[in-house]
Amino acid sequence: MILLRAPFGNAEDGALSFSFIDVGEGEATLVQTPKNRTVLIDTGNVISGYAVTEYLRHHGITRLDALIITHHHPDHMGGAFLIAQMFAIGRIYDNGYDLGGYHVQDDLYRWYEECIRTHAGYSVLKAGDSFSVDGVTFDVLWPLHDMAFTGLNECSVVMKLRYKTFSALFTADIPAAVEKTLIAQKAPLDAHL
């Protein structure tokens, strides 16, 4: 069920840990802060959302301080429907991408707007935004404000997590063109993980 659980820091002081949950195709990463606050980045697909829910329950998690959906391909956001029903969630973030055109093709996107984007704690993340949970800071490097995108991967939320001297980079499914743009902009991409 889990690919990797990696703690960083001193156990006596509380450690920052990452759980890369095996969802098959897609992603779901749980970040737990030293004071056991929780941030879930992506949720796997509609079917694997159950595995993510079971993983969280097995580890005694009853609440998520934040849920971040990096982009709207079903293998990254599909599990959000079950997770939003099973757990209290403080904040929900995504990239704000206009899903209106996708409603015609797939009810999944309409349901996402109705279930996730109507949450009282919903906010959009864009480059330059930053938020913290228990001293762990998430700096958003991508997507840019008011930029036209040609697909869902191109507007994936890219974040750099910072905690004391440790950092981790989350790039979701950005294509090579976005990587090149971030490098050209001299974005702070250096990270330990």
Closest CA to 20 of 47, 45, 55, 71: 55
Q: 63-77, 121-135, 139-153, 155-169: which range is least confident on average?
A: 139-153
| pLDDT range class, residue 44, cuts 50, 70, 90 | very high
Handedness of CA 105, 48, 64, 28 (dihedral sign): negative
Instruction: Please say if the pLDDT value at position 1 is more than 50.
Output: no
pLDDT at residue 3 in the model: 47
Amino acid of residue 174: I
Closest CA to 99 of 144, 69, 121: 69
Give the pair of three-digit tokens for residue 52.
């993510």
Residue whose pair of structure tokens reads 């959000």 in the numeric block: 80
Residue whose pair of structure tokens reads 């939003």 in the numeric block: 84
For the stretch 12-27, pLDDT in tens is 567 899 999 999 989 9
pLDDT at residue 144 in the model: 92
| Whether 173 contacts 153, CB under 8 Å | yes
Q: What is the mean pLDDT of residues 105-113?
A: 86
Non-local (6+) Cβ contacts of 64 within 8 A are: 38, 39, 40, 56, 83, 87, 88, 89, 90
Most confidently modeled range among 12-26, 100-114, 119-133: 119-133
| Whether 142 contacts 57, CB under 8 Å | no
Q: pTM of the prediction? A: 0.92
pLDDT at residue 7 in the model: 60
